[in-house]
Structure 1
């Protein structure tokens, strides 16, 4: 019986150091000739068929990396030789190799545990009971990960490439971040990657730095969940440098502008716009996120106040938020007092955001505000009625309260922001009038 390690791709371009070939293992005996792929990869120009590992002199690869690779090839060959029995099949060989790379891949019943990141994300979404809009977000991340794996296999020629939570390293994260930032350029350069994909999964423009951060932040949450649930990982984020998101100073509606929208006469407008106005105003009055609105019911009203646990933080650092209802909020709820389940009617996110911009236009709220350009990270000026969205309501609640009382702890107890929150700290720079008050103190 003989065990041989080999690669199928014999050479790469002379100066090509990015192409990777998969290392296969072949077992030959009198009545046996089986092959299976490992997860080991090597640049074809660096492979020595004679030594079944790195060539003796490879200047671009460190000595420790060469030794580790050669050791793994040797260990796998010895493992296969030691476990070999007559009558084994290719499935036996593949399972043996998989167990070497993933010691915990099989549970007690002998059923393989799927450690692919995409499969773990699906399990994470299912078991966490996430909001529908958050599920959509993770669905988009999954499709991007699948495209990245396809890119690694078809373009970088790492044939057996797959992101798995128990083997993923910080280097994989850096490669994935680079892919996210440049993918919009790959559509025309490597059309085979996108062949057969739905148009919604084909990127048409550059993803912002904040967008890339959001994707990686969500993957980090999945990896932390793995650690908490006993799923082995290499903790790649502990050695990965996360670029922090860039945000401008929060802008928000003044109380006067908010009241203009509240008082709009919409009797001649579609019913949908009237409902969306009520939901938006209610958000402005209690400061919750859009995703929390559908979860609120009559049971959340306790002694004249709304009490709820924000869904975004319910697993990490759950805290009950309590916001007294003022007269405007009570008047809005009275219009929907016959509802038996949710406090307010169901809405579609995209339509809701469109309505908010229309409401701002109808109220004449078109002043210019500074926002961060997602591509250049530079501040640009845009009119409120063109960029308003549901999160404006939360900023309006927090901004106007902070302007009145300047007490982050008190406001945080009603907004759900935790102590030291970076998001909340940005509100401390929101109002020139506050700065003027301070300067007047030393006049």
Structure 2
């Protein structure tokens, strides 16, 4: 990690591995299988399992299949397999419309009362992402050193984006600043020298 691969990539492959193992247990009642037994039927059944048993959305299921395919390609390149089980497989990514939250909806989220600190943090990090344009992985690594003063005397975020490694300079809007101020003295922020107490709360299939 840090040399061509990110922690997020590792997590996705770990999740893909878990799903593959669950599928083999569900379909064959085994925890492992010989490479030579992986055929087109295995791929079709795996996709069915992801969409029905695990209830993954179509695009999520296709992404997990693609992760699995990358591993199979390594096996083929090393001649550990002779036949490619993906030779006739075609991905079916569905283009979806992006739905943006309105100002009213964001206000409802901001003013929602949660009884637990965990949910309050999740809400605040989500709002911080909305008002900075940063991804969760970017916010997770955001440190005090990434907060700088701009030429206008206002605070800005200066960070290299996790996915692209492109440097970004982002003005800190009032709501984002309010969130940062709320967590200045949070023990996790102090100990980790981060600007927000981000935990691994955002998980999905």
TM-score by length of 2: 0.65
User: What is the correspondence of 1:208-223 to structure 2 with a 5 Å cutoff?
Assistant: 208-222=57-71
Q: Select which of 100, 109, 118 maps to 1:252.
A: 100
**Partner residue of 2:173 out of 326, 339, 343:** 326
Of 173, 176, 194, which aligns to 2:42?
176
Please say if 1:130 is aligned against 2:130: no
- Structure 2 Cα separation of the partners of residues 235 and 305 of structure 1: 50
Query: How many residue pairs were aligned?
Result: 184
Q: Distance in 2 between matches of 1:269 and 1:241?
A: 47
Q: Return the structure number with greater strand share.
A: 1
Deviation at 1:252, TM superposition (A): 2.2
Matches within 5 A, 1:426-441: none
RMSD: 4.0
* Cα distance in structure 2, aligned partners of 1:221 and 1:323: 35
Q: Which has the higher contact order (CA 8 A, sep 6+)?
A: 2
Separation of aligned partners in 2, 1:297 and 1:288: 13
Alignment check: 8 A CA contact 2:160 2:168 kept:
yes
Seen in structure 2, the aligned counterparts of structure 1 residues 204 and 323 have a Cα distance that, compared at 3 Å, is same
Task: Quote the offset at 1:307 in angstroms.
Answer: 1.3
1:276 CA displacement: 2.5
Which 5+ residue runs of structure 1 have no aligned equivalent?
1-123, 154-160, 185-202, 354-388, 390-443
Partner residue, 1:344: 196
SS in 1 for 2:109: helix
Residue of structure 2 aligned with 1:243, choices 82, 85, 91: 91
Offset, 1:299: 2.9
**CA deviation string 1:231-271 (max 9, x = no partner):** 62579488444323214312121123213433x174x8433
CA contact (8 A) 1:306 1:325 kept: no
In structure 2, how many angstroms separate the alpha carbons of the residues matched to 1:319 and 1:145?
Answer: 38
Change (3 A) 1:206 1:270: closer
For 1:88-107, what aligned pairs fall within 5 Å after superposition?
A: none
Secondary structure of the structure 1 residue equivalent to 2:28? helix
For residue 28 of structure 2, what is the aligned residue in structure 1?
A: 151
**1:32-431 correspondence to structure 2 within 5 Å:** 128=5, 130-131=7-8, 133-134=11-12, 136-144=14-22, 146-147=24-25, 151=28, 162-163=34-35, 172=39, 174-183=40-49, 204=53, 208-222=57-71, 226=74, 232=78, 236=84, 239-262=87-110, 264=111, 266=113, 269-303=115-149, 304-310=156-162, 313=163, 318-338=165-185, 339-340=189-190, 341=192, 342-349=194-201
Distance 1:344 1:259 in 2: 20
Whether the 8 Å contact between 2:146 and 2:158 is mirrored in structure 1 is: yes
Q: Deviations over 1:31-53 (max 9, x none)?
A: xxxxxxxxxxxxxxxxxxxxxxx
Q: 1:308 to 1:242 in 2, by over 3 A?
A: farther
2:35 is paired with a residue whose SS is: coil
Against the structure 1 CA distance between its residues 235 and 293, is the aligned structure 2 distance closer, same or farther, given a 3 Å change threshold? farther
The alpha carbon displacement at 1:179 in A equals: 1.1
- Cα offsets for 1:312-344 (capped at 9, x unmatched): x3xxx5434443322221221122223232321
